[in-house]
Amino acid sequence: MGKQFPASKLERDESLRVVDNRTGKEYTVPITHNSIPANFFKGIRAAAGPNDRPEDETERGLRVADRGFLNTAVIESRITYIDGDNGVLRYRGYPIEQLAERSSFLEVSYLLIYGALPGASQLSHFTSEVLLHGPIHFDAEGFFRAFRYDAHPMSMLTSAFAYLGSYYGEANPSLQGQDLFTKAAKGDPAALQNMDRQIFRLIGKATTLAAMAYRIRQGRDFVVPPTGMSYTESFLYQLDHLSPTDHLSELHSTKPHPVLAKALDILFILHADHEMNASSTTVLQTGSSLPDPFSAVAAGCASLYGPLHGGANEAVIRMLISIGSPKNVPAFLEAVKKRQKVLSGFGHRVYKTSDPRSFIIRKVADEVFAVTGRDPLLDTAMALHDAALKDDYFVSRKLAPNVDFWSGLIYRAMGFPMDFFPVLFVVPRVVGWVAHWRQMMLSPSGVKIWRPRQLYLGPSARDYVPLEERTGTFQVGVGMEPSVIEHSGLAGKVRSKL
Ligand code: CMC
């Protein structure tokens, strides 16, 4: 039996009364799940006022402006819940702390995608499907070899996902019909199967592609995913097989070091999902026009790559190296306060207290350092962390450490090159992306293309002026003309003499 509410609670009027002072009209806006529908405001119309431009389209209804999606709910989701004020993160209702301590990455993946913790046979089926789909077509080796020796691994990984999508014509709505996946919502078993096969492939191949991006830069041959290992063990094995500085318990041993494999598994659990973060939103935005899921995941990779999102762990290490010794921390923080520097790994759009993942990661870091040795940058990190948490600038803005503050130190201790850190974020986040994508494809009301609006502040209608009639200063301001570029090489020298 459901929860009983007192009558007074049931009778509460779940609506918002809005008066448009331009017209004096009153509107009642329904409130559902403590939200109001933005589209309702389209019905609030007025005649254009003296300050309105035609482009404001005042007669066509109010628009809701939300630069950077600060307070816009773009989807109904049942996957992840964050209470940013209280530092709470739950996957499908389970606290992240319990999952990190007691679960495994593939079990958590099942939970995120299918909504419940699996039974033994369900977990075994899912695990074997994911691991079975690890190997990729031999041709893909040529794709990786086409990159330059110094290509960033995220450039390789982003394009590798898009590339690999081309292998699966049978799972591409552009080729097979736009309802290829969405008809799963109406109970079409083949559509559901097709969708899940793509999900197994994406998760299974994420480690393989990431390992290929890693090894190509070292001029080492690729490693076929091994059998008989967990997802994270298999990943470490593929990365380091036959490496002189490997993550294996003994040189050329068959299995990665158990402490490091467990640490990576926990890090993967922590990074698997984070509700409507920039990259998951990008995957959904891209997915909303119904391309194949490999293309949507490639778009997610591109979004995650940025230093404000998945590139932050790399930025933290660069920042710590630039600070050097703990004695330089006060000067660095002063520069941050003057906005000359950024304190990477601090602050979050949602968390206004410490990111709960940062506590778990801090503990994992000690376990990893016990195996790898202590990173001297840890002292600088701790001094920075403690000083920032005592400083009013950061306290008053509710800036606290996020997951990336410590994760880079762990990856560094494990020997990963800095530019590989975002890749270590992408691999587990593929699970969150596909969980959100699947949920959207299965939406009973169908998929609506994500097409936001803008406030157009540019010029009003004007007539074309022929080139010979354009005179005077054209535009004043930053970025109003193409930049003058210095060219290298013979062509550049010749051009500069023209
Ligand atoms: N260092 C110094 N000041 C900061 C920082 C920071 N790291 N983050 C925010 N602020 C200040 C900001 O200048 C602003 O101050 P004021 O109100 O005086 O103008 C105030 O705090 C509010 O910040 P905001 O930029 O409005 O916050 P946001 O929600 O738009 O940005 C953020 C969130 C994560 C992009 C930002 O905090 C940031 O750039 N942090 C550093 C990068 C980082 O660590 N990113 C990883 C995020 S966690 C991993 C993930 O989920 O991807």
For residue 203, count other CB atoms closer than 10 A to its CB. 26
Q: What is the pTM of this model?
A: 0.91
Is residue 262 very low, low, confident or very high in pLDDT (cuts 50, 70, 90)?
Answer: very high
Q: Closest residue (by CA) to atom 13 of ligand 1? A: 339
Residue 314 pLDDT > 90: no
Is residue 297 very low, low, confident or very high in pLDDT (cuts 50, 70, 90)?
Answer: very high
Q: Is 152 in the active site?
A: no
Q: What is the pLDDT of residues 118-165, one digit of tens each?
A: 999 999 999 999 999 999 999 999 999 999 989 999 999 999 999 999
Residues 362, 266: Cα–Cα separation, whole Å:
12
255-259, 261-265, 267-271, 339-343: range with lowest mean pLDDT = 255-259
Average pLDDT over every residue of 414-438: 96
Determine the pLDDT at residue 3: 47
- The residue to mutate among 349, 354, 398, 409, having the most atoms of ligand 1 within 8 angstroms of its beta carbon, is 349
345 in contact with ligand 1, CB cutoff 6 A: yes
Span from the CA of 348 to the centroid of ligand 1 (angstroms) = 6
Distances (CA, A) of 142 to 115, 156, 191, 405: 38, 12, 32, 36
More confident residue, 124 or 3: 124
346 in contact with ligand 1, CB cutoff 6 A: yes
Q: Which residues of 354-376 are buried (b: 16+ CB within 10 A; e: fewer)?
A: bbbbbebbbebbeebeeebeebe
Residues 46, 59: Cα–Cα separation, whole Å:
5
Cβ contacts of residue 414 below 8 Å, gap of 6+?
247, 260, 263, 264, 368, 372
More confident residue, 206 or 244: 206
Helix (H) or strand (E) holding 126: helix 120-132
Q: Which of 274, 309, 348, 385 is catalytic?
A: 348
Is residue 253 very low, low, confident or very high in pLDDT (cuts 50, 70, 90)?
Answer: low
Residues 50, 113: Cα–Cα separation, whole Å:
52
Is residue 1 very low, low, confident or very high in pLDDT (cuts 50, 70, 90)?
Answer: very low
For residue 177, count other CB atoms closer than 10 A to its CB. 12
Determine the pLDDT at residue 82: 96
Determine the pLDDT at residue 353: 85
Residue 205 pLDDT > 80: yes
Q: Closest residue (by CA) to atom 18 of ligand 1? A: 397
309 in contact with ligand 1, CB cutoff 6 A: yes
> Residue 86 carries which side chain, given as an amino acid letter?
N
Orientation of helix 258-271 relative to helix 231-240, angle to 10°: 120
More confident residue, 69 or 472: 69
342 in contact with ligand 1, CB cutoff 6 A: yes
Residue 409 pLDDT > 60: yes
DSSP states along 387-403: HHHH-HHHHHTT--B-T
Residue-averaged pLDDT of the chain: 92
Collapsed DSSP state (helix, strand, coil) of residue 91: strand
Backbone angles phi, psi at 258, to 5 degrees: -60, -35
Residue 242 pLDDT > 90: no
Q: Are 479 and 222 in contact (CB under 8 A)?
A: no
**In terms of residues, how long is the chain?**
498
Q: Is 348 in the active site?
A: yes
Determine the pLDDT at residue 241: 72
23-32, 97-106, 131-140, 244-253: range with lowest mean pLDDT = 244-253
Residue 248 pLDDT > 60: no
